[in-house]
Amino acid sequence: MAIKFQYNKTALHNLNKQLKIRQKALPTLKNKEAALRLEVKKAKDQSLDLEEQLNIKISGQELSAGLWNEFLPELIKIGNICISSRKIAGVSIPVMKEIVFDEKEFSLFSKPDWFPEGISFVKELANIVTEREFYVRKMALLDQARKKTTQKVNLYEKVQIPGYEDAIRKIKRFLEDEENLSKSAQKIVKKRQQKQKAVAV
């Protein structure tokens, strides 16, 4: 990205200002990027942990798989998921507070006696699956923000800061050359005037 500028003191002042803004922002952006990278890893680890918990719970029911054919899925369903949000490194993330279940009444005498335990098990699975989805979503949001921050860090570090420094260097050289030429011209004029005075005398 070529930085457009004019060879004058106003442009030099503006470029210096822009350079300082970017140099000041760069450490903050790098810290944000590192924090987001860490949070993405935490969210990924947490979702994998929940995945493992889910697999353990399901594999623990393999022996009683036949019993689940008797279970009535309409006895329980998710009614509502209470969500709040919190900010991590400036990124708003949804956080699961709790799951509200809608349960249908059933007769303990006419249904198998393991149904209440089965309902508790279904609730546990629903909690794990929903929480895992929240961590997957959190990971995606944070990773997207991290990528944007990394792009901005690279833009500042590799393109804009060197570009502004180069432009400032060019303007300074130009202004120095202009000043040297002006001084040289003044010396030449002064010498001519001195010669003319000497000839006149």
pLDDT one-digit tens code per residue, 108-155: 777 777 788 888 888 999 999 999 999 999 999 999 999 999 999 999
Q: Is the Cα torsion angle 172, 173, 178, 183 positive or negative in sign?
A: positive
Amino acid at 147: K
Residue 119 confidence (pLDDT)? 87
CA atoms of 144 and 138, how far apart (whole Å): 10
Residue 197 confidence (pLDDT)? 79
- Cα 140 → chain centroid: 10
Tokens of 110: 């006419």
Give bridge partners of residue 101 from the DSSP assignment.
Answer: 78
- The predicted model gives 50-71 an average pLDDT of 82
Cα 116–Cα 117–Cα 123 angle in degrees, nearest 5: 90
- The predicted model gives 75-91 an average pLDDT of 88
Tokens of 34: 């590192």
Q: Is the Cα torsion angle 4, 6, 8, 14 positive or negative in sign?
A: negative
The structure tokens 């002064």 sit at: 190
For the domain covering 9-191, report its CATH number.
1.10.287.3240
CB-side exposure of 76: number of CA atoms within 13 Å? 16
Residue 80: partners with Cβ closer than 8 Å, 6 or more residues away? 99, 100
Question: Model confidence at 95, in pLDDT bands (50, 70, 90)?
Answer: confident
Cα 121–Cα 56–Cα 137 angle in degrees, nearest 5: 85
CB-side exposure of 65: number of CA atoms within 13 Å? 5
**Coil, helix or strand at residue 4:** coil
Residues 164/15, Cβ–Cβ less than 8 Å: yes
What global pTM score does this model have? 0.75
Task: Classify residue 113 by its DSSP letter.
Answer: T
Tokens of 142: 């944070």
Question: Model confidence at 1, in pLDDT bands (50, 70, 90)?
Answer: low
Residue 48 confidence (pLDDT)? 95
From the list 131, 136, 157, the residue with the least C-alpha distance to 33 is 157
Residue 105 confidence (pLDDT)? 85
Question: Model confidence at 201, in pLDDT bands (50, 70, 90)?
Answer: low
